[in-house]
């Protein structure tokens, strides 16, 4: 057995296909197939059930694959620990975040780089589902997404940690007839023209809202906060998003609008969440970054609520 064979097995499980795994890893289908067969022969158990439609873990394979994730993460921890004894710690940490929330990690990144100047940090903004896919396919090490209590993210190979409670709110122009209100009801929302920031968590929320209350008049969705701000100001539209969004990239909306609580019965909890590979035991480097991130989020929350 070697680490390469374990990595081949994990990629097959993630993709559900030996050919797709071979393509992602830039090796031949035969190399992947022989590696899996070698592991099954060595361990004396069938790990994958293969068919024309793909490859899925057997009942025994599911248990074994969880252990494989642990072995690979321990190996990664070993490599980074040995690097820590050298004069120059090097590596690459890839962090994916939903749009509009990069400001929440800026201080953690700056402090991290001071302690580990040789570590190459890569931060990119994507939609929540794209971030999940990147974690599952080893294109990102850590992901920052929105978690809805009534819309659980369930994926083999994914570990999820709730970092901070947040909530969905509405924003209206200061000139809107609704501006004097403290809250907005579903009935009032359905009577308004809605404009939305283009991200998965907003779409998921609105899908659930419309399934429960009925169709909403959505004028457009966009990644341009200025367009949303103009729609609120000039057309008395309403936008819906996370409370923390309106203090970051959407601050232009906050500056010319009033934030209203959503008066929704049975509204599920919403969280900012951290995702990483399943069975991940944080290496010294990633653990240091996560510790800094949690500390900064606590400060942001305290300032936001004050």
pLDDT in tens, 63-94: 999 999 888 888 877 776 666 544 445 678 88
Mean pLDDT of 140-148: 86
Non-local CB neighbours of 200 within 8 Å, separated by 6+ positions: 98, 127, 128, 129, 130, 146
Decide which of 33, 61, 81 is a domain's last residue.
81
The reported pTM is: 0.61
Whether 145 and 198 map to the same domain: the answer is: no
Whether 63 and 185 map to the same domain: the answer is: no
99: confidence class by pLDDT, cuts 50, 70, 90: confident
Whether 193 and 69 map to the same domain: the answer is: no
Burial (CB count within 10 angstroms: exposed 0-12, middle 13-18, buried 19+), residue 234 = exposed
Whether 120 and 131 map to the same domain: the answer is: yes
State the sign of the Cα–Cα–Cα–Cα dihedral 8, 14, 16, 17: negative
The SS3 of residue 140 is coil
Q: What is the CATH number of the domain that holds 70?
A: 1.10.10.10
Strand pairing category for 238-242 and 168-173: antiparallel
Pair 16, 56: CB distance under 8 Å? yes
| Most confident residue range from 12-21, 127-136, 153-162, 238-247 | 12-21
Which string of DSSP letters, residue by residue, matches 167-233?
A: -EEEEEETTSGGGG-SEE-HHHHHTSEEEEE-SHHHHHHHHHHHHHH---EEEEEES-HHHHHHHHH
The first and second tokens of residue 31, run together, are: 């190399």
Q: Residue 257 is inside which H or E element, if any?
A: strand 257-262
35: confidence class by pLDDT, cuts 50, 70, 90: very high
* pLDDT value of position 237: 92
Domain that holds residue 156: 88-163+270-305
Whether 51 and 107 map to the same domain: the answer is: no
Q: What is the CATH number of the domain that holds 94?
A: 3.40.190.10
* pLDDT value of position 87: 43
């Amino acid at each position: 057995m070697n680490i390469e064979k374990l990595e081949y097995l994990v990629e097959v499980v993630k993709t559900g296909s030996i050919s797709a795994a071979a393509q992602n890893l830039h090796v031949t289908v035969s190399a992947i197939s022989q590696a899996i067969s070698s592991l099954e022969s060595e361990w004396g158990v069938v790990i994958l059930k293969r068919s024309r439609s793909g490859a899925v873990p057997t009942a025994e394979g599911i248990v074994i694959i969880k252990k494989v994730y642990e072995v690979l993460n321990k190996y990664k921890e070993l490599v980074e620990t040995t690097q820590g004894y050298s004069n120059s710690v090097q590596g690459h940490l890839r962090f994916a975040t939903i749009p509009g929330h990069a400001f929440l990690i800026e201080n953690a990144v700056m402090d991290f780089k001071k302690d580990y100047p040789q570590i190459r940090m890569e931060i990119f903004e994507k939609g929540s589902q794209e971030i999940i896919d990147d974690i599952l396919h080893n294109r990102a090490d850590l992901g920052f997404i929105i978690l809805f209590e009534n819309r659980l993210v369930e994926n083999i190979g994914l570990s999820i940690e709730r970092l901070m409670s947040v909530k969905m709110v509405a924003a209206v122009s200061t000139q809107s007839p609704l501006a004097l209100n403290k809250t907005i009801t579903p009935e009032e929302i359905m009577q308004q023209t809605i404009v939305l920031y283009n991200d998965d968590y907003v779409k998921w929320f609105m899908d659930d809202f419309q399934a429960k209350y009925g169709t909403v008049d959505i004028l457009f969705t966009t990644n341009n906060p200025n367009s949303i701000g103009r729609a609120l100001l000039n057309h008395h539209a309403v936008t819906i998003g996370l409370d923390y969004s309106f203090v970051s990239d959407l601050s232009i909306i906050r500056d010319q609008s009033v934030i209203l609580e959503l008066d929704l019965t049975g509204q599920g909890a919403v969280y900012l969440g951290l995702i990483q590979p399943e069975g991940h035991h944080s290496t010294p480097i990633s653990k240091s970054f996560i510790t800094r991130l949690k500390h900064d989020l606590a400060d942001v929350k305290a300032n936001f609520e004050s």
